[in-house]
Structure 1
Amino acid sequence: MKFNYVYQKVVDLKSNEKTQAEWLLSAAVGELQTEKRSLHQLVEEKAYVDKTILVESENCSSMLRLQELQRYVEHLNLLIQNKLADIQNAEQNVERNQLHLNGKMLDEKVWLKAKEKAQSSFQQMIILREQNELDEMATVRFAMRAR
């Protein structure tokens, strides 16, 4: 006799939901890493322009060129601020997806535990049935020998 769990489709559904939550978390982490790389590039670009301003000011470059570089630095500062906000949003998204995954993992664990209990009960029932059959066979043999 084979064990057939009545709620197997629910267990499969919970497993699929957990897998989807893992994918969402993975995508959110990837997005966060992309945002951090982008921020790093902006910071490097700003450092390079700051160094360029310093060199050009020592070389007595034109005021127009220095003002242009300064406006570019201000623009980079604005981009950096925006990127920091994007990173914060991405981190919040990662946290949300982590909480969602934790909930799905808990759901799956509950259903798997219920399945294990049902399977254990089924195995106990099979063992009890086999034992009863063996007892009955022994009783019949004893009764036949007693005649």
Structure 2
Amino acid sequence: MGKYRYPYQKIVDLKTSQKTQAEWMLSVAVGKLQLEEQSLEQLEEEKQHWADQLLEAAANLVVLSELRVMQQYMEHLEECIIRKSGDVKTAKMEVDRSKGYLTEKMMDEKVWLKAKENANGRFSQMILLKEQNELDEIASVRFKTAVRQA
């Protein structure tokens, strides 16, 4: 029996490659999201640290100008947190978009793999039928030869 060669194998390979690329893109997007979330967490921790410092400084009768500088820095941190929250939201949207793209590519690949599987099944059936016909022909010839000799 001959080995089956799917005529659209290059398309199957392309679909598999596209799926692999989509997986990589999702991985990159998840990595970026994690970095953005870590950065946001660090900013929030730093803001909390300075809020504690500001309370401590106010209780210890620190110079007003130092309190004002601390307050301005906390306001700056708050602005950074707002921007970073936007970055996290954007990164989450990119992860969602990448997931959707990956799902689409996985479905594409699955369709082509199923088509290949079906074509291979038809090929196998055709080969089995051909072999059965050959065996039937051999049996028929032997039967006819046996009948003539008898």
Do the structures match in fold with TM over 0.5?
yes
Deviations 1:44-85 (A, max 9, x none): 000000000011111000000000000000000000000000
Q: Distance in 1 between matches of 2:36 and 2:67?
A: 30
Consecutive unaligned residues of structure 1, counting only runs of 5 or more, are none
Following superposition, the deviation at residue 2 of structure 1 comes to 1.0
AA aligned opposite 1:2: K
Following superposition, the deviation at residue 24 of structure 1 comes to 0.3
AA aligned opposite 1:34: L
Deviations 1:84-131 (A, max 9, x none): 000010011111111100100000000000000000000000100000
CA RMSD of the aligned region, Å?
A: 0.4
1:3 match: secondary structure: coil
Counterparts of 1:28-47 in structure 2, within 5 Å, are 28-47=29-48
Q: Which runs of 4 or more aligned residues in structure 1 lie more than 4 Å from their structure 2 counterparts after TM superposition?
A: none
Following superposition, the deviation at residue 4 of structure 1 comes to 0.6
Q: TM-score, length-normalised on structure 1?
A: 0.99
Q: TM-score, length-normalised on structure 2?
A: 0.97
Report % sequence identity.
Answer: 51
Q: Distance in 2 between matches of 1:34 and 1:4?
A: 46
Counterparts of 1:92-111 in structure 2, within 5 Å, are 92-111=93-112
Matched pairs, number: 147
Counterparts of 1:1-147 in structure 2, within 5 Å, are 1-147=2-148
Consecutive unaligned residues of structure 2, counting only runs of 5 or more, are none
